[in-house]
Structure 1
Amino acid sequence: MTEPILLFLDINGVIDVEEDGKTPEQISKHETGYPVPGAKEFLQVIDSCPWIHPMWISSWGLQSHVWNNWSKTRFWPVAYSLKETEKNQAIKLFPNASDKYLAVRWHSRDWQHRIVWIEDGFWLSMGVGSSMGAAVKWAEPNSTVQLIDTVPTIQQHRKGYKKGIRRWNIELICDALDIQENREILLNQIKPPISDLTDILSENIIPHMEKNQKMISNQINASTAHSLELLDQQVILSNNDTKKLENPTSFISKIRNLFKFHNRT
């Protein structure tokens, strides 16, 4: 049996990412958003897994439920922000926590199983006293807590990887949530963007082509050099033959003189 998982899921920067040139989609009657490819299927898969207990942890607050309506899933509990009475109690229990981190600690205070928190910008918010920095420090020694950052690193960004749930992190997310049967559904829906395809070309196909071109060029150069060497040898032989026959008249004269000398004797 799969171990229960308490999932804290952010919206902006995770399943909702505004991009240049992308047309907003109507999420509800009064709300628009920029769902990443496969966002609807992702929410539906989570909702269908009985071992996953999802909670919204987003600045959308109670409006997070419009994403449940949009994806035709059940309404999930909203973890953020805390009600005033909850916040006061939470601060007493976790005086060094704040903001989203405080909400996560409060809602997971009695949870005895695994916790997965999917958020954008864990590694970008590592400053002293930051809520996310405190969350990272809390999770590092805790084997039951896994934080997943949907912001690509500088190296990944240079490769064209984009923020949000994408091809580059969906396998990690599926593993963290023990999603096995529906993995292919997500992989088929979360298509690699053009930048990812460009990256694949630049990292794999183009260098391979360049390597082949270099090999072919070397082969051509070697073949050309060999041909030139043969041509030089032919020229030398031809010159030698020419030298041997360069005075045929003198050769014939010697034969004639030989016969003349023979007749005289």
Structure 2
Amino acid sequence: MTEAILLFLDINGVIDVEEDGKTPEQISKHETGYPVPGTKEFLQVIDNCPWIHPMWISSWELQSHVWNNWSKTRFWPVAYSLKETEKKQAIKLFPDASDKYLAVRWHSRDWQHRIVWIEDGFWLSMGAGSSMGAAVKWAESNSIVQLIDTVPTVQQHRQGYKKGIRHWNIERICDALDIQENREILLNQIKFLIPDSTDISSQNIIPCIEENQKIISNQINISTAHSVESLNQQIIHSNKDIKKLQNPTSFLLKIRNLFKFSNHT
């Protein structure tokens, strides 16, 4: 029997991602959105898995239900934001938690089974004292909690990977939610290309410090190459000038100035 899973699902940056050149879709009479490919099928599959207990954890708050109407699924409970009375009680129980993390801790306080939280930007918000940083530490110390980040790393972004539920994370999401029966439906809708073997999205939190260092190093190399190229151009132009020179003193002055330029670079 499949173990019960409490799912906290964000909207913006997960199933709703605005992209250049993409026309917004009418989600309800008064709301438009940018659903990623396969969103409707994804929500329907979750809704049809009896072991998954989904909750919206989004700034859409109660308006999250328009996505249930749009996808023709049942109304899911809304975890965020907390009502004022709930918030006061939650802060007493979890004084170090805040914002979405506080809501997740509150709604999962009596849950004894697995917890999956799908959000954009866990690894981008790992600063000391941040809500997401606290959530990461909580997951690292709790084996039943799994965080799935829908923001690609710097390396993945260079390879064309986009934010949201996409080809590069859908299999990991299916594994986390024990989706097997309708797995092919989602793969056909979402996984339009296969990432290479160097994909590192299987990790919960992926630091990008090394990538940033590589970027800086590349920028330095490009700058150096540009300086060398400029110097070579100067030499070429000087050689052309030599043929036209009739005054040797003028020629020596130009050579001297050229070496001065070389030393400054």
Q: Which residue of 1 aligns with 2:22?
A: 22
Give the AA of the match of 1:13: G
> Sequence identity, in percent?
90
Give the AA of the match of 2:133: G
Question: Which stretches of structure 1, 4 residues or longer, exceed 3 Å deviation after superposition?
Answer: none
Using the size of structure 2 for normalisation, the TM-score is 0.73
Using the size of structure 1 for normalisation, the TM-score is 0.73
Query: Is residue 132 of structure 2 the alignment partner of residue 146 of structure 1?
Result: no
Query: Is residue 59 of structure 2 the alignment partner of residue 59 of structure 1?
Result: yes
CA distance in 2, matches of 1:45, 1:85: 34
Deviation at residue 102 of structure 1 after TM alignment: 0.1
Give the AA of the match of 1:69: N
CA distance in 1, matches of 2:142, 2:128: 20
Deviation at residue 109 of structure 1 after TM alignment: 0.1
Deviation at residue 191 of structure 1 after TM alignment: 4.5
- Give CA deviations for 1:32-79 in whole Å, capped at 9, x if unaligned: 000000000000000000000000000000000000000000000000
Contact 2:82-2:103 within 8 A present in 1 as well: yes
Contact 2:170-2:191 within 8 A present in 1 as well: no
Q: Which residue of 2 aligns with 1:208?
A: none
CA distance in 2, matches of 1:11, 1:161: 18
- Give CA deviations for 1:191-227 in whole Å, capped at 9, x if unaligned: 43xxx68x87xx9xxxxxxxxxxxxxxxxxxxxxxxx
CA distance in 2, matches of 1:152, 1:115: 22
Query: Is residue 154 of structure 2 the alignment partner of residue 162 of structure 1?
Result: no
Query: Is residue 58 of structure 2 the alignment partner of residue 79 of structure 1?
Result: no
CA distance in 2, matches of 1:128, 1:29: 41
CA distance in 1, matches of 2:176, 2:64: 23
Deviation at residue 141 of structure 1 after TM alignment: 1.7
Deviation at residue 128 of structure 1 after TM alignment: 1.0
Give the AA of the match of 1:37: P
CA distance in 2, matches of 1:31, 1:68: 13
Q: Which residue of 2 aligns with 1:242?
A: none
CA distance in 1, matches of 2:141, 2:90: 22
Secondary structure of the structure 2 residue equivalent to 1:121: coil
Query: Is residue 131 of structure 2 the alignment partner of residue 131 of structure 1?
Result: yes
Secondary structure of the structure 2 residue equivalent to 1:80: coil
Q: Which residue of 1 aligns with 2:208?
A: none
CA distance in 1, matches of 2:26, 2:61: 18
CA distance in 2, matches of 1:94, 1:141: 15
CA distance in 1, matches of 2:129, 2:80: 20
After TM superposition, the structure 1 stretch with the greater mean CA deviation from structure 2, 67-76 or 152-161, is 152-161
CA distance in 1, matches of 2:141, 2:129: 19
1:1-265 to structure 2, matched below 5 A, reads 1-192=1-192
CA distance in 2, matches of 1:119, 1:82: 18
Count residues with an aligned counterpart. Answer: 197
Q: Which residue of 2 aligns with 1:213?
A: none
CA distance in 2, matches of 1:112, 1:10: 22
- Give CA deviations for 1:178-201 in whole Å, capped at 9, x if unaligned: 000110000011143xxx68x87x
Q: Bigger radius of gyration, 1 or 2?
A: 1
Q: Which residue of 1 aligns with 2:249?
A: none
Contact 1:37-1:191 within 8 A present in 2 as well: no
Secondary structure of the structure 2 residue equivalent to 1:78: coil
Give the AA of the match of 1:121: G
**Tell me, which stretches of 5 or more residues in structure 1 are unaligned?**
204-265
Q: Which residue of 1 aligns with 2:250?
A: none
Give the AA of the match of 2:6: L
CA distance in 1, matches of 2:142, 2:45: 27
CA distance in 1, matches of 2:159, 2:134: 29
CA distance in 2, matches of 1:170, 1:128: 30
Deviation at residue 157 of structure 1 after TM alignment: 0.7
Give the AA of the match of 1:48: N
Secondary structure of the structure 1 residue equivalent to 2:44: helix
CA distance in 2, matches of 1:34, 1:89: 36
